[in-house]
Amino acid sequence: MATTMKITIRYNRFLDPIFLVYVKTLPKYKDWKPATLRTVLRRTAVYREIWNAKGISLLRKIYKVADLKFKRNLIEIHVVSGNPRPFSNPIVITANYNETKFLLVVLEELLHVLLKDNRVPFIKSRDNLTVRKHVQVFSILLKVLDKETVDYAIENSKPHRDYYRAWLLALKQHNKSVSE
């Protein structure tokens, strides 16, 4: 990792109220109760600990296997009380993840940033854009994550057809390259 590269993980007090209102408008979340501010702050601190203990070394592995570098020297990860899905521009995640899910989500969003920063084209396929973007991301994750984490990621992607398809395509590519 470049010595000037820094990743910060912080509760975002400005985005949080926006997401709280937004999430409540979604029928699926109408009965959702957000975590208290104290809980969100505690989880954010735990996220930073997880990142420092495991995330930095995984990102270094990604740099090595993908031969990609960030074009910016600061990446901010914004933590909010609730967010039905994370995204990468800016990186916004919910405070409701376990350790494995947190690492998977952050690495996935950072890979989206890396691929965009390095202008890596999407794979050519008849699949939709979501699948094409995620095949690349998941192919890189397959090279740096342990089997248990990959199995967890694939299992958790099953309810989301496009993500599950992307994992299956990435696995197919990975297994083909390993057998050659």
Tell me what pLDDT residue 180 has. Answer: 60
| Mean of pLDDT values over 16-36 | 91
Tell me what pLDDT residue 175 has. Answer: 82
Tell me what pLDDT residue 179 has. Answer: 62
Residue 3 has pLDDT above 80, yes or no: no
Mean pLDDT for the chain overall: 92
pLDDT bin (cut points 50, 70, 90) of residue 85 is confident
Strongest mean pLDDT among 42-46, 60-64, 116-120: 42-46
Residue 2 has pLDDT above 60, yes or no: no
Strand residue runs (E) in the chain = 6-11, 74-80, 87-88, 91-94
Instruction: State which amino acid sits at residue 55.
Output: G
Tell me what pLDDT residue 13 has. Answer: 96
Residue 1 has pLDDT above 50, yes or no: no
pLDDT bin (cut points 50, 70, 90) of residue 177 is confident
Cα(174)–Cα(131) distance, integer angstroms = 16
Tell me what pLDDT residue 176 has. Answer: 74
Yes or no: say if 114 and 54 are a contact pair by the CB < 8 Å rule: no
| Mean of pLDDT values over 86-90 | 91
| Mean of pLDDT values over 94-114 | 95
Residue 70 has pLDDT above 70, yes or no: yes
Yes or no: say if 164 and 158 are a contact pair by the CB < 8 Å rule: yes
Nearest to 63 by CA among 10, 113, 101: 113
Q: Show Cβ contacts of residue 129 under 8 Å, excluding neighbours closer than 6 positions.
A: 122
| Mean of pLDDT values over 76-89 | 92
pLDDT bin (cut points 50, 70, 90) of residue 4 is low
The total of other beta-carbon atoms located within 10 Å of residue 104's CB is 21
Helix axes 129-144, 56-66, angle to 10 degrees: 110
Tell me what pLDDT residue 102 has. Answer: 97
Find tokens 């990743």 and name the residue.
7
Residue 7: φ, ψ to 5° = -115, 125
